[in-house]
Amino acid sequence: MNPDEIPDNWDAPQRILVILAHPDDPEFFCGGTIARWTLAGHQVAYCLLTCGDKGTKDRSLTSAALCSLRQEEQRAAAAILGVHDVRFLDYPDGYLVPDMNLRKEITRVIRQEQPDILVTCDPTNLYVRETYLNHPDHRAAGQATLDAVFPAARDHLYFIELWRDEQLEPHIVREVWISLPRDPDVSVDITDHWDLKLRALSEHRSQIGDRAQLEERMRSRHTPDSSLEKPRYEEYFKRLVLE
């Protein structure tokens, strides 16, 4: 591929902020790309809107215990991918709605982190490959995050208390990368980062069940133009370059 056509061929280190709903979303949706970016010298931070406190079938686990377990798992997974900071906004798992309060909290994080590139997920994606429904939290996270990028993070009079009382300057995000997209227009080759993605995913022990089965299932997701013997892997995005 012509280097000009490689979408993440930025000529300087970028500040990248990943805002998603649950622990394990970053690794499942775009873990290979995150590894590729940190290894290329870009600085990646995560903001998870919930701690995934409903994601279990274990009836002996309380939401509070699951929350701290999943935060630990998320920090371990992020460390494997070279992510420098992980924060949680502690909204209840499963109840996320893109209201003004969530938009304001995300706006605060964007103004604090000042990312060049922001990664979130697709609020219009109702189902994936006709085989499963997209989690409503994923749609809510994508909607609230896009609404925070524009116009709330950009203009000081939105949530004026952030600027007036917390001295948080307005911020313009240059690119938005939408993971789990309904209509992808960018594919990132993550073949060289596949093992790191799997290692990071396997840190989410409360979610993945048997690790060998996970690896087998994941390995079958090679690109159609490659084979199990010589696989190539990609992650897909909708990329917006904002003016």
Q: Which residues bind Zn ion (CB under 5 A)?
A: 22, 25
For Zn ion, which is the closer residue by CB, 43 or 202? Answer: 202
Q: How far is the CB of 153 from Zn ion (least distance, A)?
A: 23
Q: How far is the CB of 29 from Zn ion (least distance, A)?
A: 8
Q: What is the H or E stretch that residue 188 is in?
A: strand 186-189
Taking the complex as a whole, how short is the minimal distance between the CB of residue 57 and Zn ion, in angstroms? 16
In the DSSP assignment, the letter for residue 148 is I
Strand partners, 45: 17, 85
The residue nearest Zn ion at its CB is 22
| Least Cβ distance, residue 11 to Zn ion (angstroms) | 33
Nearer to Zn ion, 26 or 42 (CB): 26
Question: What b/e string do you get for 169-185 counting C-beta neighbours within 10 Å, with b at 16 or more?
Answer: ebbebebbbbbbbeebe
Residues 6+ apart with CB under 8 A from 226: 232
Q: Determine if residue 122 is left, alpha or beta; phi over 0 gives left, psi from -120 to 50 gives alpha, anything else beta.
A: beta
Looking at beta carbons only, is 8 or 25 nearer to Zn ion?
Answer: 25
Helix axes 25-39, 194-201, angle to 10 degrees: 140
Minimum distance, C-beta of residue 150 to Zn ion, in the bound complex (Å): 24
Return the number of the residue (180 or 198) whose C-beta is nearest Zn ion.
180
Contact indicator for 97, 140 with CB cutoff of 8 Å: yes
Whole-number minimum distance, CB 184 to Zn ion, in Å? 18
Smaller CB separation from Zn ion, 32 or 142? 142
The answer to whether 116 touches 15, Cβ cutoff 8 Å, is: yes
- Closer by beta carbon to Zn ion, 43 or else 134: 134
